[in-house]
Amino acid sequence: MARDDGRRTVVQVRQWWRRPFFAGALGVAVLAAGVAAYWFQPWKLWQNETVREAAPTASARTLATGTLISHEHTTSGTVRVLRLPDGSRTLRLEGLDTSNGPDVKVLLSDAPVKPGRAGWHVFDDGAHVSLGSLKGNKGDQNYALPRDLDLDRYTSVSIWCDRFDVSFGASALMKA
């Protein structure tokens, strides 16, 4: 008596599962999908984190300003470098709006800000200083600057994805 097509298919699948190559290939595929998910973290594209830090102090003096332009991701907002009454300095992002992503940092760099693809990968080529991880992809935030940082040397700011070595957006710093 011949088996029907549905039952024959089940038997064929069971035979495939018993082959070591198929089970190994399936295991490798599941592992690769897990590594890719960890590396790319695609769920962050749909997660926004808004930070609303107050400006450090009303008596801070503005040393430099800039406006963010888009690179790899649509990015907008303004940048200010502030000198506080105690002599310390802070980089302030105001009205930031960019994408979320894995391992996104705020970089000061000596690279010129270039629009378009020409500006996407340059901010870690020369002298650069990481001010730490981006606190949120939206809002207002403050980053302390190292006391010995020479602002004449670092003339741009980048919202930098360290995982993929690409700028989400950047701004030149213009002396106030």
- At 97-106, the pLDDT tens digits run 999 988 999 9
Round to whole Å and give the CA distance between 133 and 103.
Answer: 7
Round to whole Å and give the CA distance between 44 and 118.
Answer: 25
What per-residue confidence (pLDDT) applies to 142?
Answer: 98
- Report the SS3 class of residue 47: coil
Round to whole Å and give the CA distance between 23 and 107.
Answer: 45
Specify the DSSP class assigned to residue 102: T
Q: For 116-161, what is each residue's pLDDT tens digit?
A: 999 999 999 999 999 999 999 999 999 999 999 999 999 999 999 9
Q: For 5-45, what is each residue's pLDDT tens digit?
A: 656 677 776 666 666 666 666 666 666 555 555 555 665 66
| Predicted structure pTM score | 0.76
Q: What percent of the chain has pLDDT over 90?
A: 66
- Return the sign of the alpha-carbon dihedral for residues 164, 170, 172, 173: negative
What per-residue confidence (pLDDT) applies to 34?
Answer: 56
Residue 70 structure tokens: 């888009």
Residues with Cβ within 8 Å of 147's Cβ and at least 6 positions away in sequence, in order, are 88, 89
